[in-house]
Structure 1
Amino acid sequence: MAGHSKWANIRIRKGAQDAKRGKLFTKAAKELMLAARLGGGDPAANNRLRQAISYAKSINLPKDKIETAIKKGTGELQAEQLDEILYEGYAPGGVAVIVETATDNKNRTVAEIRHIFGKRGGNLGESGSVAWMFERKGMFLFPAENFTEEQLMEAALEAGAEDVKDEGEVFEMHCAFEDFGAVQQALDAASLAYSEAKVTMLPKNTVPVDAETGRKVLALLDMLEDNDDVQNVYANFDLPDEVLAEMEG
């Protein structure tokens, strides 16, 4: 799954640059609102909010915007009603795609998501059509220059995580979704500085694609991620090295 993980990590790096456009700020604020609405405004008692705050800080969302988003979620400040909706479909090459959205207009969002899939050679599927191919996991990224794999394996065992994978520039530490908060607290207590902590959808298996198909899949995913209602996009494809090199460039 190295090609898939490398693709995901390149997106994370490039995403930090995209924050200048405000896209990631908007997505982070929506997640803060949703987390606070569903679990309350205290991050100590709300793992999802704790994660959302951690992510918001990692992309340098200003403190006042974090606080405002949380207050909108708890109802202290007036805000639009957001609904979380999951869409599933297929990209070119039979690649499975999951799209997480947060929207104030369900009809608009489904029409736009369906249009994007169709325009880029994919198709929107029924609920449950591809979700079974993924597992919801906690994931922590550690810069490879700051850690050894042995050091992180030991930390993972102590924190209750499942495994550590060497993905080149970063190490990925995975844990069960239910253990995310406890593992994060254990890592923080041990002063292990991860570059990002989040809940993600990891594919159980990946589909290898050729360069031409890989570029088509990327075009679909990029268009989905550029949509204002889309929070996260996950796919189960494995890119060839030449396409990964193009992304790096």
Structure 2
Amino acid sequence: MSGHSKWSTIKRKKGAADAQRGKIFTRLARDIMIAAREGGGDENSNTKLKLAVAKGKASNMPRENIERAILRGSGGADGEMMEEITYEGYGPEGVAFLIDVLTDNKNRTLAEVKRLFNRAGGSLASAGSVGWQFEKKGFITLAGEKLDFDNVFMAAAEAGADDVVDEEGTIVVNTPREMFAAVETALAENGYEIADAELRWEAKNESEIPVEKALQNMRLMEQLEELDDVQGVASNLAITDDVIAALEIA
């Protein structure tokens, strides 16, 4: 399992704590806004929006919040100019970071991101100096327990998936960027319920560093993800079993 996948598994276990911190509705609203901005405000013709709305409902997000997010994303009456930006940086020990943000004030967001990097002993980097170390890939998480792994693997492989992994009981299908939509459609047509589907950055090669420094980078990653404007954080940190063990003790 890649470092990013291990981090995703850790985050799933932390989901309840995230909700208690009051961050989840903000993140869900921004997911809905992005989906509406990219594909329009009609759930019937915008699969990404339909999935984002379903996630909002599953988290008991009020309907008026969902409708407001759709309106803002699609440029409705109270819509606003939102800008998507990817920042690049280095954490402790030179670990590479990519940070995707959606913001209505890039100066504010840049200052917040820069502050966290500086405090962690890292730094922001110039555009292109980090991005070449990553590629964008599709990740489709299936809902349900006791799914037949072999059947999922066959359906996904035939549709063009790269890999299928079992992340502690949760099946995740990895796809090339260009095959993401086709694989998602094929899985749905085969009767599988999609719990989550997204394109995100994946490191081409991972960097294994001392446990103490790895924990510093993971704290930086978590702090970045807690910023309201941040949509996703990727790094090339190798999250080893020793790092996970140390994280559970910390």
TM-score, reference length from structure 1: 0.88
The answer (yes or no) to whether the contact 2:3–2:240 under 8 Å persists in 1 is yes
Q: Which amino acid aligns with 1:232?
A: G
| Closer/same/farther in 2, CA of residues 147 and 247 from structure 1, 3 Å limit | farther
| Closer/same/farther in 2, CA of residues 131 and 215 from structure 1, 3 Å limit | same
5+ residue gaps in structure 2? none
2:230 and 2:16 map into 1 onto residues whose CA distance is: 17
Q: Which amino acid aligns with 1:182?
A: A
Superposed counterparts of 1:12-31, under 5 Å: 12-31=12-31
| Closer/same/farther in 2, CA of residues 54 and 158 from structure 1, 3 Å limit | farther
Q: Are positions 1:169 and 2:196 aligned together?
A: no
5+ residue gaps in structure 1? none
| Closer/same/farther in 2, CA of residues 16 and 202 from structure 1, 3 Å limit | farther
1:26 and 1:35 map into 2 onto residues whose CA distance is: 14
1:85 and 1:108 map into 2 onto residues whose CA distance is: 13
Residues matched between the structures, number: 249
The aligned residue for residue 150 of structure 2 is 150
The aligned residue for residue 115 of structure 1 is 115
Q: Are positions 1:96 and 2:96 aligned together?
A: yes
The answer (yes or no) to whether the contact 1:95–1:236 under 8 Å persists in 2 is yes
Q: Which amino acid aligns with 2:208?
A: P
The aligned residue for residue 207 of structure 1 is 207
1:159 and 1:20 map into 2 onto residues whose CA distance is: 39
Shift of 1:227: 1.4
Structure 1 counterpart SS, 2:14: helix
The answer (yes or no) to whether the contact 1:206–1:237 under 8 Å persists in 2 is yes
Over the residues paired in the alignment, what is the CA RMSD in angstroms? 2.4
Shift of 1:199: 1.6
Per-residue CA deviations over 1:124-145 (Å, capped at 9, x if unaligned) read: 0011111111111110124795
Shift of 1:156: 0.5
The aligned residue for residue 217 of structure 1 is 217
The aligned residue for residue 236 of structure 2 is 236
Q: Which amino acid aligns with 2:141?
A: L
The aligned residue for residue 56 of structure 2 is 56
